[in-house]
Amino acid sequence: MSSVSVQIIEGNPHLRSLLGWHLQQLGYGVFQSANLSQAQSAFQRLHPDLIVLDADLSDGGGLEFCRWLRRQSPVMVLILSTRSAESDIVAGLKAGADDYLRKPFGMQEFLARADALTRRIRNPVPPAYLDYGDLKVDLVQRRVKLKDETIDLTPQEFSLLYVLAQASGMPLSRMELLQRAWPDAIDNPRTVDTHILSLRKKLEVDPRQPNLIQTVRNVGYRFNTEVTRKPPAPKVPATVAASASRPPVAASSLLRS
């Protein structure tokens, strides 16, 4: 839980301290702001996971600050407000809040709502689809397409590709790949090399000069997440290339001829 941080932006110092104390007892990292000017600089410096935002701060509108937050990052926002009309709740949610809690409220309800929001951070929903330009990986159907053509991978090849892709470009050693991608305990690193070679033959434009699955010397392999496959440039006929390389004829010489 300590990896989840909460910024409390609340004008009432007693409520601000009380909320912070209870969150800290549950293991959250907490920092507090009394107004929007403090809140903005603290947010940019500390990058919290959850914002608890008083909608009625003395130095500006909480909803406008919520809209500003939404333009900065996908941080979770829980709005606190004395305004309880349906239109106020709708306005808060439309401003970008993930939840809206009306004052006064019970502490147990507040903590339950904070937990529900931060649960999404602690247990993110894994993606169902990976898109790397011409390469598409369907994690649900366990299918791979290259330039809209389905590539036939064995279950082990798919698992290896998935583990490499999930590493987000970080190099993985052969032993790490064996531990993560193989269902059974295997201690032969050359098994990884064999499957990498097979994947390259199926996915690379030139398996001898791989661009998608790269070798990292003295480490292992990495998946190049920045690869965008483009069709090769058309070959220019030799006669056209030769004529293009000649310097242009001066206009004066053409007139003299």
Task: Please identify, among 65, 89, 122, the residue that sits at the C-terminal boundary of a domain.
Answer: 122
pLDDT in tens, 180-234: 888 777 778 889 999 999 999 999 889 999 988 999 988 899 998 776 444 444 4
Same domain, 109 and 47: yes
Same domain, 43 and 83: yes
Same domain, 114 and 57: yes
Same domain, 141 and 214: yes
> Strand 149-151 vs strand 143-146: parallel, antiparallel, or unpaired?
antiparallel
Cis-peptide, bond into residue 207, ω within 30° of zero: no
- Domain span including residue 193: 129-223
217 compared with 238, residue with greater pLDDT:
217
What is the pLDDT averaged over residues 67-92? Answer: 89
Q: Tell me the backbone φ, ψ of residue 21, rounded to 5 degrees.
A: -65, -45
> Which of 229-249 are b and which e, b meaning 16 or more Cβ less than 10 Å from the residue's Cβ?
beeeeeeeeeeeeeeeeeeee
Provide the sign of the torsion angle of the four alpha carbons 126, 129, 131, 132, taken in this order: positive
Same domain, 10 and 116: yes
What is the pLDDT averaged over residues 54-61? Answer: 81
Question: What is the CA angle 45-50-54, rounded to 5?
Answer: 95
Residue closest to 75 by CA, chosen among 120, 18, 26, 129: 120
What integer pLDDT is reported at residue 69 of this predicted model?
Answer: 87
In a domain, 200, yes or no: yes
CA–CA dist 89, 53 (Å, integer) = 14
Domains identified in the chain, total number: 2
* Domain CATH number, residue 84: 3.40.50.2300
pLDDT in tens, 167-184: 778 889 998 898 888 877
178 compared with 244, residue with greater pLDDT:
178
**Band of pLDDT at residue 127, cut at 50, 70 and 90:** low
Same domain, 110 and 140: no
The DSSP secondary structure of 169-202, one letter per residue, reads T--EEHHHHHHHH-SS----THHHHHHHHHHHHH
What is the pLDDT averaged over residues 239-246? Answer: 48
Same domain, 137 and 194: yes
In a domain, 46, yes or no: yes
What strands, in cross-sheet order, belong to the sheet with 172-173?
A: 172-173, 220-223, 213-216
CA–CA dist 82, 147 (Å, integer) = 55
113, 76 in Cβ contact below 8 A? no
CA–CA dist 148, 229 (Å, integer) = 12
The predicted model scores a pTM of 0.51
Task: Please identify, among 68, 93, 122, the residue that sits at the C-terminal boundary of a domain.
Answer: 122
115 compared with 254, residue with greater pLDDT:
115
The token pair that represents 167 in the structure block: 């590493």
pLDDT over 70 percentage in the chain: 85
5-9, 60-64, 146-150, range with the lowest pLDDT = 60-64
Same domain, 33 and 139: no
Same domain, 206 and 155: yes
In a domain, 28, yes or no: yes
Same domain, 135 and 105: no
Task: Please identify, among 62, 90, 122, the residue that sits at the C-terminal boundary of a domain.
Answer: 122
The token pair that represents 54 in the structure block: 């008083």
Same domain, 79 and 107: yes
Same domain, 25 and 97: yes
The token pair that represents 123 in the structure block: 């247990």
